[in-house]
Structure 1
Amino acid sequence: MMKPVGRIEGGSASPVLGRPVLDPAKAAWNGGMLLAALAFAGPLFSWSALAMFVGSTYALLLVGHSVGMHRLMIHRTFTCSRPLERALIYAGVLVGVAGPFGIIRIHDTRDWAQRQPACHDFFAHTRTLALDLLWQLAYRFEFERAPTLTIESHWADDPWLRFMERSWRLHQLLPAVPFFLIGGWSWVVWGVCLRVFVSTAGHWTITYFCHNPGPGRWRVHDASVQASNLPGLGLLTYGECWHNNHHAFPESARIGLEPGQADPGWWFVRGLERLGLAHEVGRPRPASSREDLDDLGPGRDAV
């Protein structure tokens, strides 16, 4: 299996020294989607728009964000053909959080910081939910000594992904046009503006609670930030809520590892595998290779 796609070289970098600074492009994008939704979603409400919003939001987050960007592109927990790779990642672009390289940068920098003995609250999610959401939706972290991120050539040299990175915001026009033709401005507001904001804010809200109140069964050695599992949210979060499992076994395409831990993202990958479309599907490494973990025993999930 290909080694992880993103690689952080820490060197003399510090995950503590630095500060959140306003990112005008991020603030304008997320703020614009929010303002448009607040202004027009209510007046333009229809039951068909609501149904389309729920279906498109869930499908794109499941197939694009959880499977395409997170399990495939970032962690490389399975392999597949180049056309299927591009299709899954494109669905992730349509979620509207960031471009493919931007997602890698956000994820890998945060993961590196959390696995250090100490890190800034921006990465640890230890402030209030309101402040944390403001930071993640409108700010970037300005390091005093930044780490170096290298994206492997399999992705970095792909002209399609480079194009996606340059133009990812513009691709909301792809769903906007058919939405307008089918349901008018109601579908555009609910299917683009509200969907993008809810997807992005929802992602960071789940991320926040997955790191509060603390560890579940698995504790990663020397990591300043331990993750939680969130019982009862597996179906809603595509399996991403089993974040304690994920911190322990990032190589696994399956995140919901215990009985009762619903994991729709894994069901999708498993379906691809059974169809012969996904290969080298990762599972948790054996007990003999878990020197970096403490097993605190079952029943330690957050409640």
Structure 2
Amino acid sequence: MYLGTLVGMTGPIGMMKQHDLRDWAQRQTRCHDYLLHGSGMLKDGWWQLNCDLQLQNGPTFHIEQEVLADPFYRFIEKTWMWQQLVLAIPLYWMGGLSWLVWGVSVRIAVSVGGHWLIGYFAHNDGERTWRVEGAAVQGHNIRLAGLLSMGEAWHNNHHAYPGSAMLGLYTDEPDPGWWVLNALRNLGVVKNIRLPIQLPLRPELIAEATDLDRRVERVPEDCDIAKFIRRG
């Protein structure tokens, strides 16, 4: 959670609100261009990196009390921008201004800009295995960015199974984020990981790909869940 905060977007509670707002909006039959990345690249980039959308009648989010009451989460939510000093001070001490610029400023610009860029393409163009019927926005898989984005670019899979910890659902979809989570699960550091077979059935989820039977489902060797992909 702390490493995620150092990316430089917001704190953990703010990230939950941002993600859940976008996720809610994209499941509606109509969605504002800001939340669906529906404008041209230059306009969308300006919006996403410099602006915010205020809804007059937006949804109400109920975040779990164990998150809201957690003292560590509350602390880094209030101080998330100041947390860069944890890196900035030792970087400047060890390497001077150049280390500070590359280790903080450039890193944040690349991380935040890259997050927007993946989101823009993942909601506009790319491969699709699944379609969520009735949703204003469909996710797309961006194969070239699968590794670089820690699996986030398998965004069509995420729209199909938003509660799944694994995003790369097939052996030809590398998912480093899942590799890390699964390793931490094996070490007992994280728990309650959920995969598609453990999620509620979604009658609105339709399989679009014609080669699902040919592709090999990902089965983690150290995971006791053998088969978890449902086909529409």
TM-score by length of 2: 0.86
Greater Cα shift, 108-117 or 176-185: 176-185
Residue 135 in 1 paired to residue 47 in 2? Answer: yes
Residue of structure 1 in register with 2:227 after alignment: none
* CA positional deviation for 1:257: 0.5
1:129–1:295 distance in 2 versus 1, CA, 3 Å: same
Superposed CA deviations along residues 233-283 of structure 1, whole A, max 9, x for unmatched, are 211110100000011111211100112101000000111122222222211
Superposed CA deviations along residues 171-216 of structure 1, whole A, max 9, x for unmatched, are 1000001111111110100111111111111101100000012671
Letter in 2 for 1:126: G
Quick one: higher RCO (CA 8 Å, sep 6+), 1 or 2? 1
Residue 148 in 1 paired to residue 65 in 2? Answer: no
Counterpart selection for 2:140 from 228, 237, 252: 228
Q: How many residues align?
A: 212
* CA positional deviation for 1:285: 2.5
Residue of structure 2 in register with 1:196 after alignment: 108
Residue 219 in 1 paired to residue 134 in 2? Answer: no
Counterpart selection for 1:174 from 76, 82, 86: 86
Counterpart selection for 2:195 from 275, 280, 283: 283
Contact 1:113 1:123 in 2 (8 A): yes
Stretches of 4+ moved more than 6 A in 1? none
1:123–1:215 distance in 2 versus 1, CA, 3 Å: farther
User: C-alpha distance in 1, partners of 2:37/2:158?
Assistant: 17
Q: Secondary structure at the match of 2:185?
A: helix
User: C-alpha distance in 2, partners of 1:132/1:299?
Assistant: 33
Q: Which 5+ residue runs of structure 2 have no aligned equivalent?
A: 213-232
TM-score by length of 1: 0.67
Residue 123 in 1 paired to residue 13 in 2? Answer: no
* CA positional deviation for 1:287: 9.7
Counterpart selection for 1:265 from 154, 177, 181: 177
Higher strand share: 1
Instruction: Determine what percentage of the aligned residue pairs are the same residue.
Output: 44
Letter in 2 for 1:240: E
Residue 96 in 1 paired to residue 8 in 2? Answer: yes
- The CA RMSD over aligned residues, in Å, is 1.8
Contact 1:175 1:192 in 2 (8 A): yes
Letter in 2 for 1:102: G
1:287–1:199 distance in 2 versus 1, CA, 3 Å: closer
User: C-alpha distance in 1, partners of 2:148/2:199?
Assistant: 30
* CA positional deviation for 1:162: 1.2
